[in-house]
Amino acid sequence: MHRAADVESRNSMYKDLVNAYYDLATVFYEWGWGQCFHFASQYPHESFQEAIHRHEYDLASKLGLSIVVKNNDGDASKTRILDVGCGIGGPMRNISRFTGCNVTGITLNPYQVSRGNELNLKDPYVYDRTKSVQGDFMDMDKFTNGTFDAAYAIEATCHAPDRVKCYSEIYKKLKPGSIFACYEWCMTDKYDPTNEKHLQLKKDIEEGNGLPDIVNTKVCLQALKDAGFEVLQECDLAEVQSGNGIQPWYQPLMPSWNPLSQRFQFNPIGGVITNVAIYWMELFRIAPAGTVKTQKILQAGGFGLRDAGKEGIFTAMYLMVGRKPGDKIRK
């Protein structure tokens, strides 16, 4: 699919692109990363998982839920939040625990829906407040307009071929006065489309992460406005959360010589050992056919993310918070 020369061809195939990618990658992600498929900067006192959860809680804190819960007679479980592009639902479960709210997630990939609901039912704290639904966030007709009290997306709407249409769909599903907050993958103003290295890094990220076309931060911000949202906040958290010993979001993709670390595969020797091990596992049918190719695609995507992040031409942490105009949410 990525052999298509023009961006429009890939954008038109976004459904096939997303499904093909996540059919291959989901198990790898869950095994190597956990149930939350996103990045986070890491403060000195935090473990990796603590940083991931804090990143989610920070986003949830932008949704104005205290007002919503108050309007629901103080019952958080009556508050409905939409998770746009929920994956296997790690953030959905964490945010439901954090807020006490009812969270519905939508994702295009059927396997992720099945796996997400399996994990939802196993969680004794949120099994009755979380649900994954199969669907396209570019066309969410299965949800009634004006039914959600808030919405968020975490590194998911980068799969949308048209941001205005995507954000407009979210806008329609929200009640007046509701807030949508998201973390976006974007190219920054430092990206130079005439620079061959920059072009290659962008291509590596797109191929290694099943993406159509990565757009600039300004494109996403304008799309949010064009969809009708009043912009409350926007910034690149990669710049805001830097210095003072804070590890950048791409730190997990940096090489390490610790053989017990998942980062070991990113040093030259570890990379060879990992690929050889996976090759033999596939040869002896311990791993399914295609595992080697999948590993190489994901690895190339990881290198692209890391190097583009270090160059400052790409961010996985562009924060936007928008409010749908209208009266504050009422019962």
**What is the pLDDT tens value at each position of the chain, 331 positions in all?**
556 556 666 666 667 777 777 777 788 788 878 999 999 999 999 999 999 999 999 999 999 998 788 778 888 889 999 999 999 999 999 999 999 999 999 999 999 999 999 999 999 999 999 999 999 999 999 999 999 999 999 999 999 999 999 999 999 999 999 999 999 999 999 999 999 999 999 999 998 888 889 999 999 999 999 999 999 999 999 999 999 999 999 999 998 888 878 777 778 888 788 888 888 988 888 877 877 887 787 788 899 999 999 999 999 999 999 999 998 655 4
Backbone angles phi, psi at 181, to 5 degrees: -130, 140
pLDDT at 331: 45
Give the number of C-alpha atoms closer than 13 A to the C-alpha of residue 88, restricted to the C-beta side.
22
Q: In whole angstroms, what is the distance from residue 259 CA to residue 267 CA?
A: 10
Superfamily of domain 14-186+212-245+313-323: Vaccinia Virus protein VP39 (3.40.50.150)
Q: In whole angstroms, what is the distance from residue 64 CA to residue 83 CA?
A: 15
Q: In whole angstroms, what is the distance from residue 93 CA to residue 125 CA?
A: 9
pLDDT at 43: 97
Token readout for 253 is: 């993709």
Token readout for 220 is: 């996403």
pLDDT at 317: 97
3-state secondary structure of 242: coil
CA-CA-CA-CA dihedral for 175, 178, 182, 187, to nearest 10: 90
Q: Where are the domains of the chain?
A: 14-186+212-245+313-323
Q: Report DSSP state, residue 76.
A: G
| CB-based contacts of 22-31 (< 8 A; 24+ apart in sequence) | 22/108, 22/109, 22/111, 22/112, 22/210, 23/109, 23/111, 24/290, 24/294, 24/297, 25/210, 25/294, 25/298, 26/87, 26/88, 26/109, 26/111, 26/112, 26/115, 28/294, 28/295, 28/298, 30/88, 30/115
pLDDT at 285: 84
pTM recorded for the entire structure:
0.90
pLDDT at 8: 67
3-state secondary structure of 132: strand
Backbone angles phi, psi at 315, to 5 degrees: -135, 140
Distance between alpha carbon 71 and the CA centroid of its chain, in Å?
30
